[in-house]
């Protein structure tokens, strides 16, 4: 972070300063356990914690000062305090002030699934010419996004900021800090529908995601998945690029060749050029991230060679459809980071196309679907049968109530239900024979199927 004085920080957040306004701050922290000397501490408040209880600890660890929504009874003379109405809002407002220090193209993106894939693809393309900053890990929420913006430095030439949401208003809130030059939405699904009320629909998700355009800078660019039926209803007062296979798309994907686990080849046609792309990740759905990244790269002046090279250099982040090879010719499709109906459907189609022996899908409950939960799990069960998956390991109560029976009815010959991950994991070595392919997919915080992947990597399989 570029240095800011405590007086500048106070002005940025509209707070009240107690202490020396000339102190220089070069780091912001929300964690009193990892305070670096001279950092600024932001005590966040949650349902079961209050960061104000750790102000003294942070200051003792070397913090120069802190925000506070309730001022400590005793103020240390050697430290600085800025009183604000809400410490989380103050963090966002500070990030908004800091972002204005930079004159560089900023891409803000969102969507129901595939956000991180799109972020990584855009960053891979732009980094072929520009020193590109990108959201790290899953820091895409109301705390992570401001912290990411506060890591921008003078050497950066572009930024790709992923923003997520689980309720209406969150994308607008984050956009007030990001202030994008380019705003992109990859799709509209039913993820997080639980938080929108019992009568909510995908149209409510669309409205919440479309908040991204409220803070798009004048003259900005909107980039959309042109084949998404919800996004197709948007009529925006900005230059809009719709990317996809359909006739309405002005960035058109053609000549799609599915290479299985080796990836996808296609051509992307814009008004200016044709880009022959080799996407090194499986699944035809990858053409949306690739075409959107190509369109953004072209808009920012990259050459065709740079765009093609950037798509070819894409690598998945974390446990997102990562193909791993285990002893005995076993294939592991490690897509364990998260799950929703769209991503699970895409993953099952990839599994079904693998040339292997037994195809095994270990699927866990998909969370935050609200009224769509039952139908969504049943639909995934039907798809398991229709795609010819040999064995389904359904884990969790929703999978047991809706998915397992639907898979049996659709013709899956071997359906097993487990109450939890550990029970299913115990059966895996016997089922996962040489030449088999296993897909791991579940909502992250409930399933933690990444731990199953860890277990399998260490398991002493026979060749």
Q: Provide, for the chain, the percentages of residues in helix, strand and coil under a 3-state DSSP scheme, each rounded to the nearest 5.
A: 40, 20, 40
Q: Going from the N-terminus, what domains does the chain have, and what CATH number goes with each?
A: 4-92 (3.40.1390.10), 102-312 (3.40.1190.10), 322-458 (3.90.190.20)
**Residue that has been written with the tokens 């590109």 in this structure:** 132
**Nearest-angstrom CA–CA distance, 205 and 201:** 7
C-alpha closest to that of 377 among 342, 412, 403: 403
**Nearest-angstrom CA–CA distance, 37 and 27:** 9
Phi, then psi, of 320 in degrees rounded to 5: -120, 105
**Residue that has been written with the tokens 């799709």 in this structure:** 187
Bridge partners of 226, per DSSP, are none
**Nearest-angstrom CA–CA distance, 398 and 365:** 6
- Cα diameter, the chain: 73
Mean pLDDT of 364-387: 95
**222 pLDDT more than 90:** yes
Mean pLDDT of 93-112: 98
C-beta atoms surrounding 38 within 10 Å: 15
Bridge partners of 390, per DSSP, are none
- pLDDT-based confidence at 445, cuts 50/70/90? low
Q: Which of 154-168, 321-335, 444-458 has the lowest mean pLDDT?
A: 444-458
**Nearest-angstrom CA–CA distance, 359 and 357:** 6
CB 291 within 8 A of CB 306: no
**Nearest-angstrom CA–CA distance, 353 and 338:** 21
CB 67 within 8 A of CB 43: yes
Q: What pLDDT, on a 0 to 100 scale, did the predictor assign at position 152?
A: 98
**458 pLDDT more than 70:** yes
Query: Three-class SS of residue 339?
Result: coil
Bridge pairing between strands 221-225 and 251-258? unpaired
Cα of 239 vs its chain's centroid, Å: 25
CB 277 within 8 A of CB 267: yes
Bridge pairing between strands 437-441 and 359-364? parallel
* Residue-wise DSSP of 29-74: ES-GGGPPTT-EE---B-SS-BGGGGHHHHHHTT--EEEESS--SS
Q: What pLDDT, on a 0 to 100 scale, did the predictor assign at position 80?
A: 98
Instruction: Spell out the residues 6+ positions from residue 39 whose beta carbon is closer than 8 angstroms to its own.
Output: 25, 26, 27, 28, 29, 62, 63, 64
Q: What pLDDT, on a 0 to 100 scale, did the predictor assign at position 446?
A: 65
Cα of 223 vs its chain's centroid, Å: 17
Q: What pLDDT, on a 0 to 100 scale, did the predictor assign at position 54?
A: 96
- pLDDT-based confidence at 43, cuts 50/70/90? very high
- pLDDT tens digit sequence for 174-192: 999 999 999 999 999 988 8
- pLDDT tens digit sequence for 300-313: 999 999 999 999 99
**Nearest-angstrom CA–CA distance, 140 and 419:** 31
**51 pLDDT more than 90:** yes
Q: What pLDDT, on a 0 to 100 scale, did the predictor assign at position 165?
A: 94
Phi, then psi, of 83 in degrees rounded to 5: -85, 130
């Amino acid at each position: 972070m570029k240095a800011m004085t405590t007086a500048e920080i106070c002005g940025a957040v509209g707070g009240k300063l107690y202490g020396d306004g000339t102190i220089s701050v070069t780091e912001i922290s929300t964690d009193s356990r990892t305070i670096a000397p001279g950092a600024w501490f932001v005590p966040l408040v949650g349902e079961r914690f209050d960061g104000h209880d750790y102000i003294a600890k942070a200051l003792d660890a070397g913090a120069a000062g802190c925000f506070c929504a309730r001022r400590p009874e005793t103020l240390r003379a050697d430290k600085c305090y800025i009183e604000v109405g809400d410490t989380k809002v103050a963090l966002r407002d500070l990030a908004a002030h800091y972002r204005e220090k930079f004159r560089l193209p900023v891409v803000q993106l969102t969507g129901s699934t595939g956000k991180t894939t799109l972020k990584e693809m855009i960053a891979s393309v732009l980094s072929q010419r520009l020193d590109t900053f990108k959201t790290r890990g899953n820091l895409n929420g109301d705390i992570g996004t401001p912290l990411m913006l506060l890591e921008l430095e003078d050497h950066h030439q572009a930024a790709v900021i992923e923003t997520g949401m689980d309720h209406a208003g969150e994308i607008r809130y984050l956009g007030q800090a990001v202030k994008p030059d380019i705003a992109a939405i990859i799709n509209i699904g039913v993820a997080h529908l639980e938080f929108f009320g019992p009568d909510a629909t995908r149209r409510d998700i669309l409205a919440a995601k479309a908040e991204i355009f409220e803070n798009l800078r004048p003259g900005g660019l909107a980039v959309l998945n042109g084949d998404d039926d919800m996004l197709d209803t948007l009529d925006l007062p900005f230059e809009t690029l719709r990317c996809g296979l359909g006739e309405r798309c002005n960035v058109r994907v053609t000549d799609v060749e599915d290479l299985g686990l080796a990836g996808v080849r296609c051509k992307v046609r814009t008004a200016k050029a044709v880009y022959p792309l080799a996407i090194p990740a499986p699944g035809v759905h990858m053409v949306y991230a690739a075409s959107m990244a190509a369109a953004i790269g072209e808009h920012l002046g990259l050459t065709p060679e740079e765009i093609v090279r950037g798509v070819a250099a894409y690598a998945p982040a974390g446990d997102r459809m990562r193909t791993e090879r285990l002893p005995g010719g076993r294939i592991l499709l490690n897509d364990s980071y998260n799950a929703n109906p769209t991503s699970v459907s895409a993953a099952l189609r990839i599994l079904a196309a693998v040339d292997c022996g037994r195809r095994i899908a270990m699927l866990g409950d998909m969370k935050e679907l609200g009224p769509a939960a039952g139908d969504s799990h049943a639909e995934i069960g039907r798809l398991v049968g229709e795609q010819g998956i040999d064995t389904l390991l359904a884990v969790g109560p929703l999978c047991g109530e809706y998915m397992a029976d639907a898979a049996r009815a659709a013709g899956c010959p071997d359906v097993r239900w487990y109450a939890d991950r550990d029970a299913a994991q115990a059966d895996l070595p016997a089922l996962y024979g040489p030449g088999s392919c296993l897909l791991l997919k579940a909502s992250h915080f409930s399933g933690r199927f990444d731990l199953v992947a860890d277990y399998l990597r260490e398991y002493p399989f026979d060749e």
